[in-house]
């Protein structure tokens, strides 16, 4: 015999459930009113950088979709961890979001000694929308025309020691280059910088032999022929530099890829309905041809939208990968 309930009992139960849902902070009743004010996207770099420019592109799309202004706020500092620290402490209601990158979200201890947020527990991913490959560059006057030639020169006992520049000790390009040195047994002295523009200037001036550079920072000069690109760290060649081989091609390493990724995240206690809406809106925006073209033109690689579960799994795998690399190489945090 099927279960039956008196109508009064059903009405009472429904009323109690409704009260319970309304009483739960961040529950569905709250999500229905989202957003109730301006949304702030916190970017850990200064205005005008590639990360900032792309964030402003989708911020405009989110504003149109959500019906409230979406403001980009730049909070540089502490090797890109200051912004994450501040957003981790924000009210988890979907009105404060974070833009971040690989190491800051998977292994920030590589960069700084004391990290004031838990990169595993404090954030939930909204969108992993692009990957940022790195390109190994030299001055064309060096006479080096390939990655293998550069390695052979570094191995030569009668040659001057090879120097290479990156954006700092413990930075992503530094890890990538040190792993390359380990895998292909050559020596090169690291010269850390704080400014991408100064790196490019010193490669052009012959003050440093090479650089593992952010692709976007060097792209224009590579296309003009003022810098020579030896190899790119993405899994496949990119449209903006079709003649530049991948490291996998140059060194016969099938499957090689070492790229940073950009992520939009929210504090982990943000109500699931709010997170789900943001995930859906970002998936739509980042799949649009105009957005993908903007990313590609900047020397970056647009990613296909991922589900919340897929993003969580991907970030976890990257934590294991990059923490392992840093430990193996003995990289010490600098601040």
16 assigned to some structural domain: no
Q: Do 292 and 231 fall within a single domain? A: no
What average pLDDT values come out for the chain (335 residues) when binned by 10 residues?
A: 39 40 43 91 91 95 97 91 95 97 86 86 97 96 96 88 90 92 95 88 96 92 97 96 97 94 97 97 97 94 94 92 84 72
The C-alpha R_g of the chain, in whole angstroms, comes to: 23
Q: Do 210 and 242 fall within a single domain? A: yes
Which structural domain, as residue segments, surrounds residue 106? 35-132+259-329
> Which residues sit opposite 179 in a β-bridge?
none
CATH of the domain at 300: 3.40.190.150
- DSSP code for 33: T
Q: Do 116 and 264 fall within a single domain? A: yes
| Helix-then-strand count for the chain, H and E | 13, 11
Q: Do 101 and 68 fall within a single domain? A: yes
Q: Do 138 and 124 fall within a single domain? A: no
Any idea which residue has 């099927």 for tokens? 2
Instruction: Answer with the one of 250, 270, 304 that is the final residue of a domain.
Output: 250
Q: Do 65 and 41 fall within a single domain? A: yes
- Assign residue 26 a region (left: φ > 0; alpha: ψ between -120 and 50; beta: otherwise): left
Report the predicted TM-score, pTM, of the whole model to 2 decimal places: 0.83
Give pLDDT tens digits for 263-304: 999 999 999 999 999 999 999 999 999 999 999 999 999 999
Calpha distance 215→97 (Å, rounded) = 26
47 assigned to some structural domain: yes
| H, E, C per residue of 38-75 | CEEEEECCCCCCHHHHHHHHHHHHHHHHHCCCEEEEEC
- Cβ pair 171, 209 in contact under 8 A: no
Calpha distance 221→86 (Å, rounded) = 36
Give pLDDT tens digits for 106-145: 888 777 888 899 988 999 999 999 999 999 999 999 999 9
CB-CB neighbours of 140 under 10 Å: 13
83 assigned to some structural domain: yes
Give 332's contacts (C-beta < 8 A, 6+ positions apart): 169, 170
Calpha distance 82→88 (Å, rounded) = 10
20 assigned to some structural domain: no
Q: Do 127 and 141 fall within a single domain? A: no
Q: Do 144 and 230 fall within a single domain? A: yes
Domain count, the chain: 2
Q: Do 244 and 274 fall within a single domain? A: no
Calpha distance 225→20 (Å, rounded) = 65
18 assigned to some structural domain: no
Q: At what angle do helices 289-297 and 272-286 cross, to 10 degrees?
A: 70
């Amino acid at each position: 015999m099927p279960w039956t309930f008196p109508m009064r009992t059903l009405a009472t139960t429904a009323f109690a459930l409704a009260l319970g849902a309304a009483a739960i902070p961040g529950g569905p009743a709250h999500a229905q009113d989202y957003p109730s004010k301006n949304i702030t996207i916190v970017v850990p770099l200064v205005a005008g950088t590639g990360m900032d420019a792309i964030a402003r592109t989708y911020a405009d799309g989110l504003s149109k979709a959500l019906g409230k202004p979406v403001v980009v706020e730049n909070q540089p500092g502490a090797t890109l961890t200051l912004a994450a620290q501040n957003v981790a402490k924000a009210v988890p209601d979907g009105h404060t979001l974070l833009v971040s990158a690989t190491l800051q979200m998977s292994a920030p201890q590589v960069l700084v000694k004391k990290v004031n947020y838990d990169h595993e527990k404090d954030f939930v991913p909204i969108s992993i929308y692009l990957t940022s490959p790195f390109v190994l560059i030299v001055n064309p006057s060096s006479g080096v025309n390939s990655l293998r030639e550069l390695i052979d020169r570094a191995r030569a006992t009668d040659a001057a020691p090879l120097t290479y520049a990156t954006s700092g000790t413990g930075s992503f390009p530094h890890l990538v280059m040190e792993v390359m040195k380990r895998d292909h047994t050559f020596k090169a002295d690291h010269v850390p910088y704080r400014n991408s523009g100064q790196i490019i200037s010193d490669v052009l001036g012959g003050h440093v032999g090479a650089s593992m550079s952010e692709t976007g920072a060097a792209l224009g000069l590579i296309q003009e022929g003022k810098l020579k690109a030896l190899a790119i760290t993405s899994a496949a060649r990119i449209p903006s530099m079709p003649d530049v081989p991948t490291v996998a091609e140059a060194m016969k390493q099938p499957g090689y890829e070492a790229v940073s990724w950009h992520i939009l995240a929210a504090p982990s206690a943000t109500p699931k309905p709010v997170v789900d809406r943001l995930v859906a809106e970002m998936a739509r925006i980042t799949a649009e041809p105009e957005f993908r073209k903007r990313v590609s033109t900047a020397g970056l690689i647009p990613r296909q939208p991922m589900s919340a579960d897929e993003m969580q799994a991907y970030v976890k795998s990257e934590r294991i990968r990059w923490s392992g690399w840093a430990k193996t190489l003995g990289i010490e945090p600098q601040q």
